[in-house]
A and B are shown apart, each in its own frame.
Chain A
Amino acid sequence: GQNIDQPTEMTATEGAIVQINCTYQTSGFNGLFWYQQHAGEAPTFLSYNVLDGLEEKGRFSSFLSRSKGYSYLLLKELQMKDSASYLCAANCPGGNNRLAFGKGNQVVVIP
């Protein structure tokens, strides 16, 4: 089975850096995805990690440690539009590209 754990909410100031953590326990593992979801909207893909290390995409970076079952999403130079829920999801074993999602971390950006 899969168990994906994320903190529920955090508040940060515009222009700051925030780190969102995700720990996972799965019976197998093919990779970890991060999605952004604004209130009332669909989740949108941000990044994924298969191998250990850091993947950078502009203001967003994602890190993975497979041995520790741990990932984080780093948001730099926070903007008001970054206020959203951030979902981590593990790619389940057995193919079919199925994802097991965490409950999401709500980030609130304040001026």
Chain B
Amino acid sequence: NAGVTQTPKFRVLKTGQSMTLLCAQDMNHEYMYWYRQDPGMGLRLIHYSVGEGTTAKGEVPDGYNVSRLKKQNFLLGLESAAPSQTSVYFCASSYSIDPGDNQPQHFGDGTRLSIL
């Protein structure tokens, strides 16, 4: 099994351009998450999804949109990229059994995005 796969691994954009980051998982996980990681800030949750067709806002959702059309895929979109969105983006997924259940999140290798 590949686990959690993110594409692309690297990308450089100009301010105002748009792009979509793709996350795919083959573990049949219900929950999926998008984080950004910046120096000195730790991992911050952007958006998450608890199942196909559902999405919800995390801690830092502004400037991003997401879609979960298929259970195995979770897409993160930047409609108009800004330099402040330069970051490393991680996708993660997990099982869920009951509300509040503790299941480890499995992370992809990350996408390094630079906005000029």
Contact = CB atoms under 8 A, between A and B. Distances in A.
Interface string A44-84: 11001010000000000000000000000000000000000
A99 interface: yes
Size range of the chain B interface in the assembly = 20 to 34
A-side interface mostly: loop
Contact of B106 (A31, A45, A87): A45
A97 B108 contact: no
Size range of the chain A interface in the assembly = 20 to 34
Contacts of A41: 109-110
B94 to A, nearest CB: 5
A96 B104 contact: no
A24 interface: no
B74 interface: no
Interface string B83-116: 0000000100010100111111111111000000
B42 A97 contact: no
Contacts of A31: 102
Contacts of A50: 102
Interface of A: 4, 30-31, 33, 41-45, 48, 50, 87, 89, 91, 93-104
